Amino acid sequence: MIARRPVSLSLPGTITRYQVDVTDEQALAATAQDFIARHGPPDLVIANAGVSAGTRGEEIRDIASLRRVLEVNVTGLAATLAAFAPAMRTAGRGTLAGIASVAGFRGLAGNGAYSASKSAAITWLESLRTETFLLPPDEGARRIARAIARRPRLAVVPWQMALVSVALRAMPGWLFDRLAARAPRKPRT
């Protein structure tokens, strides 16, 4: 398990914990190499990098927030998977899984950085399918594990959010704009 902050999680099997910043590709690569040297290629890598910050498109100072959110949520996710993928490909086994958000299906007012990052993550993960093999926390982990075991092309956890994403994608732009304009805004930090 690789985490920026200490994580308390109970899973079956051997768990080796590392604390690393996913935006530090060299440290992430060294972490992956150490894990592989100790245990061999992993059976499963879940990239779940995510930070969020409220942003406004007319605020130039929010570009720094956008950059950081993209760096963690997109580049960090990609680097996590890339650090392990070669060894897994050589071994001919294992699953790479990335966690995104339904916020990536439509741009949400005041959440442009987060929505853009999750949209990019979804598209990145979608593109990887052709290149490589690919809630409360405990319940989310169980559902994600079940989804991974089924090996679908796309899984939305919980499944009800798939309905939300379909509705958001199908909604006419004028209606989405009207509803989104009234939605609560994420606090700017």
Burial of 89 by CB count in 10 Å (0-12 exposed, 13-18 middle, 19+ buried)? middle
Give the whole-angstrom CA distance, residue 77 versus residue 82.
Answer: 9
Torsion sign across C-alpha atoms 134, 137, 142, 143? negative
Give the whole-angstrom CA distance, residue 47 versus residue 25.
Answer: 14
Question: Annotated catalytic residue: which of 55, 99, 114, 117?
Answer: 114
Task: Give the ranges where 40-111 is alpha helix by DSSP (H).
Answer: 62-70, 77-91
| Residue 168 main-chain phi, psi, to 5 deg | -65, -40
Among residues 107, 98, 52, 59, the alpha carbon closest in space to that of 77 is found at 98
Distances from the Cα of 147 to the Cα of 99, 103, 143, 158, angstroms: 12, 19, 6, 10
- Is 18 tagged catalytic? no
Q: Which two tokens stand for residue 138?
A: 């405990």
The residues that are catalytic are: 114
